[in-house]
Structure 1
Amino acid sequence: MAKEKGRKLIAQNKKARHDYTIIDTYECGIVLTGTEVKSLRQGRASLVDGFVSVEGREVWMYNVHVPEYSQGTWTNHSARRKRKLLMHREEIDKLERKADESGHTVVPLALYFKDGRAKVEIALAKGKKEYDKRQTLREKQDTRETNRAISAIRRKQRGTV
């Protein structure tokens, strides 16, 4: 069997990008059991309530839901267990220093396979206030309306030339 190439997305946390301002992102490996890998290969996971914590110079991911593997037996994993993330020591130290600042947290953004290995993209983030969320939505809507107006003008110009 040939090795997988590229990136195959399993789960994405869109809510995190809405609720937080992303400051910095990191790619980490994950320590998984066999049944967790098989469940992920079926494309089943949820990052919605997940968060990341640095404990004792190790990085752990909590509340990420990887459902039990349907053909698993007594070796099956628990769905919401804490999972160790694999990062370089310098990255862990940098992440811990920044995460300790007031209002900062670390959240998982995406879970995917990269060249056959399970990876998670985590982000150092700062929580948005309600008015920041509304402002972001307003900016997106304004950009969308501007792009529509520009494309309508271009269509009109092409039609007359």
Structure 2
Amino acid sequence: MHVRKQEETKNQRGKPKTNLSQETMAPLTLRGRMQMAALRKQRFKSKAKHRRNGMKTMRESFKRLKTEMEEISEEQKNIREGQRQVKKKFEAIETECEELKRETRLIIQQSARTQVKLALMFRILKAREAGDFNIAAHFTEILRTAYSPRPNMYHELVTEDDDNKTILLGINGE
């Protein structure tokens, strides 16, 4: 379509040299202008079509946001359920811990009672070896009350009177 005028001249090596004249540049720039105009037409759509597309993209983004919000709310429900389960497990662990503490206290009390009984038996043996049967009888009586099935027996022995208290404290000290 376009006819280019070329001026042929020879360069130093003898090869023909081609130059585009000013006349040939004009159609190129015109063609460039035409292409740019066609691109502009594609870019600028009619306002109604543009609005429809805008509404369409807005609806799509609303749908996408709605599904994301539903997913998030579902995740939050799962998190809450997990927290409830963790709380339930934690409470079970706490009750088990309290039960273990209670059992430990009972074992400590039983150990203390056993220690007192052993100390009383040792005192009875020492008193019999020394020939002091009155003290041996007294410790034997205390030992009988110690073996009684009352649970707070040790506490009663210690708080009964000041003499017994000092005796039992002396036994624990040895």
Range into which the TM-score falls when normalised by the shorter chain: under 0.3
TM-score scaled by length of structure 2: 0.19
Higher relative contact order (Cα pairs below 8 Å, separated by 6+ residues):
1
Q: Which of structures 1 and 2 has the bigger CA Rg?
A: 2
Higher helix share: 2
